[in-house]
Amino acid sequence: MSPAFDLAGARVLVTGGAGFLGSRVCDALRAAGVGPIRVPRSHTSDLRTRAACDLAVQDIDLVVHLAAKVGGIGLNREKPGELFYDNAIMGLQLMEAARVAGVRRFVTVGTICAYPKFTPVPFSEDALWEGYPEETNAPYGIAKKALLVMGQAYRQQYGFDAVYCLPVNLYGPGDNFHPSSSHVIPALIKKVYDAQALGRDHLVSWGDGSATREFLHVDDAARGIVAVASHLATGEPVNLGAGFEVSIRELITTIARLMEYRGEIRWDSSKPNGQPRRQLDISRARAWLGFEARVPFERGLAETIAWYRARPLPVEEPTS
């Protein structure tokens, strides 16, 4: 498969490149033979300002835009305005700065929160505009989806080489386990760990367990994003997923088994489930990029659990 963009020696900007996914993407880019990689840090380069964006893209060939303000259902409910503004303004200004600076390719890493709440499963990229996203994460999802529109508009008007991918829920060693902003797998691992540490005979999980999710190991996601950077030859979006669906009930049962927790799992149905189902159609990624996930799910979960056990956060008493 011939590349749409030659990575060899390319000068690269990776926003969010010091983070959970970004650090893996930088490693995968180095393995692909890129040149110097620039990783702006939020404490010295606030990409919500145009000046910081202008500075970040100087003398850059390829931008991989990963930086995002993101979290689980709790953060989405608490700070929807911040999630919309911060994610939208970063992407809008960065892409415009990149166009003006003559950046040769711009990769936006979107989110499956952009899909409509009741998207037919598996989610096809063609269904992105067939409804409104699930309400709790709509501000974040719409902000990121706006960058797909911007990239396509810039491709049409300016010939700007913007491409876009939508990774499914990520997990793996090094994930964010902070309870106020973590996603479902690290949140459940911490919940089980804390219940064990406190000697509790039960734990409480949000919703009723019926919602389903698909999970992609962070190392697979990094490979997929590099494949997008080098091989995606169109402005049409492409899903990056693992090709399976698991319910939250099955997920926490599996985590409890792997962690040898034998307490009861109770459900707080007064709390939201989030989007009812998630599983991606990954046929485009396979056909256009030659990409498929490699890490078996239980092996990835076991690695993530082992990583957390070696460096746990303080144990917290449950609030319910």
pLDDT for 75: 78
Mention every residue, 6+ apart, whose C-beta is less than 8 A from residue 217: 170, 171, 172, 242, 293, 294, 295, 300
**Structural domain includes residue 193:** no
**Structural domain includes residue 262:** no
CB 125 within 8 A of CB 281: yes
Sequential pLDDT tens for the chain (320 residues): 678 999 999 999 999 999 999 999 999 999 999 999 999 998 889 999 999 999 999 999 999 999 998 777 777 789 999 999 999 999 999 999 999 999 999 999 999 999 999 999 999 999 999 999 989 889 999 999 999 999 999 999 999 999 999 999 999 999 999 987 788 999 999 999 999 999 999 999 989 999 999 999 999 999 999 999 999 999 999 999 999 999 999 999 999 999 999 999 999 988 878 778 889 999 999 999 999 999 999 999 999 999 999 999 999 887 65
Task: Give the domain CATH number at 118.
Answer: 3.40.50.720
**Structural domain includes residue 97:** yes
Look at phi and psi of residue 217 and say left if phi exceeds 0, alpha if psi is from -120 to 50, else beta: beta
**Structural domain includes residue 291:** no
| Residue type (1 letter), 292 | E
Q: Rounded to 5 degrees, what are φ and ψ at 33?
A: 95, 20
Domain encompassing residue 149: 12-171+215-240
CB 137 within 8 A of CB 274: yes
**Structural domain includes residue 61:** yes
**Structural domain includes residue 36:** yes
**Structural domain includes residue 226:** yes
- A 10 A CB-CB count for 88 gives 20
Strand-pair partners of 165: 109, 238
Q: Rounded to 5 degrees, what are φ and ψ at 193?
A: -60, -45
**Structural domain includes residue 142:** yes
Residue 4 tokens, joined:
């749409």
| Residue type (1 letter), 119 | T
Three-state SS sequence of the chain: CCCCCCCCCCCEEEECCCCHHHHHHHHHHHHCCCCCEECCCCCCCCCCCHHHHHHHCCCCCEEEECCCCCCCHHHHHHCHHHHHHHHHHHHHHHHHHHHHHCCCEEEEECCHHHCECCCCCCECHHHCCCCCECHHHHHHHHHHHHHHHHHHHHHHHHCCCEEEEEECEEECCCCCCCCCCCCHHHHHHHHHHHHHHHCCCEEEEECCCCCEECEEEHHHHHHHHHHHHHHCCCCCCEEECCCCCEEHHHHHHHHHHHCCCCCEEEEECCCCCCCCCCCECCHHHHHHHCCCCCCCHHHHHHHHHHHHHHCCCCCCCCCC
Number of domains in the chain: 1
Look at phi and psi of residue 131 and say left if phi exceeds 0, alpha if psi is from -120 to 50, else beta: left
Give me the active site residues, please: 140
Mention every residue, 6+ apart, whose C-beta is less than 8 A from residue 310: none
**What's this model's pTM, rounded to 2 decimal places?**
0.93
